[in-house]
């Protein structure tokens, strides 16, 4: 074995780690100017101006910076917020329409009327993974650890989607 090989490998790893840390540290400043609102930035990047937003998934597994760092609302719900049916590792998932008009609409099915979601219901879904009727929202929907201001920004962005 060549003595230079381990040194070369360690050097390349160090360069890669340094590059990843630089991207994580500077990404919010690169991306924040590309969005018209904090809500839009969170929807598209999973990050606010402060950086990546921590989250957990159903069952409580923590997803901090570095774990699904690029996962954001847009990845499942789409650019228009309408969701759809997607193939995941564990099978197909029906992702709901999260435009504010769709969430807030009263629905009737099989003689049962379901009231539309309130802003408090949407906040609980984002933070706690709980539907208005108390049912749990299943994975892959994360539970976002957002500030009140960040949650309200996302809700405002869902309303903005209706105007497009």
What string of DSSP letters covers 106-135?
A: -EEETTEEEPPPPHHHHHHHHHH-B-TTSP
Number of domains in the chain: 2
1 and 71 housed in the same domain:
no
91 and 138 housed in the same domain:
yes
4 and 17 housed in the same domain:
yes
71 and 144 housed in the same domain:
yes
Instruction: Please choose, from the candidates 81, 80, 73, the residue with its C-alpha nearest in 3D space to the C-alpha of residue 140.
Output: 73
24 and 86 housed in the same domain:
no
pLDDT for position 14? 64
29 and 43 housed in the same domain:
no
Angle, helices 4-31 vs 38-45, to 10°: value is: 150
Residues of the chain with pLDDT under 70: 1-4, 7, 9-12, 14, 16-33, 58-70
28 and 43 housed in the same domain:
no
pLDDT for position 11? 64
Instruction: Please choose, from the candidates 109, 80, 77, the residue with its C-alpha nearest in 3D space to the C-alpha of residue 94.
Output: 77
pLDDT for position 48? 92
Question: How many CB atoms are closer than 10 A to CB 22?
Answer: 10
Between the two ends of the chain, the Cα-to-Cα distance in Å is 62
pLDDT tens-digit series, residues 70-88: 589 999 999 999 999 988 7
Instruction: Please choose, from the candidates 148, 107, 106, the residue with its C-alpha nearest in 3D space to the C-alpha of residue 126.
Output: 148
The parent domain of residue 126 ranges over 35-162
28 and 51 housed in the same domain:
no
């Amino acid at each position: 074995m060549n003595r230079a090989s381990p040194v070369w490998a360690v050097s390349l790893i160090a360069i890669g780690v340094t590059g990843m840390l630089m991207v994580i540290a500077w990404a919010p400043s690169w991306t924040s100017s590309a969005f018209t609102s904090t809500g839009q930035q969170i929807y598209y990047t999973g990050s606010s101006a402060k950086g990546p937003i921590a989250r957990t998934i159903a069952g409580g597994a923590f997803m901090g910076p570095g774990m699904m760092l690029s996962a954001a609302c847009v990845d499942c719900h789409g650019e228009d917020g309408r969701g759809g049916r997607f193939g995941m590792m564990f099978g197909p998932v029906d992702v709901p329409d999260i435009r504010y008009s769709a969430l807030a609409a009263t629905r009737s099915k099989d003689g049962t009327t379901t009231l539309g979601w309130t802003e408090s219901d949407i906040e609980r879904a984002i933070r706690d993974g709980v539907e208005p009727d108390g049912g749990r929202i299943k994975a892959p929907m994360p539970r976002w650890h957002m500030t009140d201001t960040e949650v309200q920004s996302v809700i405002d962005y869902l309303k903005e989607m209706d105007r497009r």
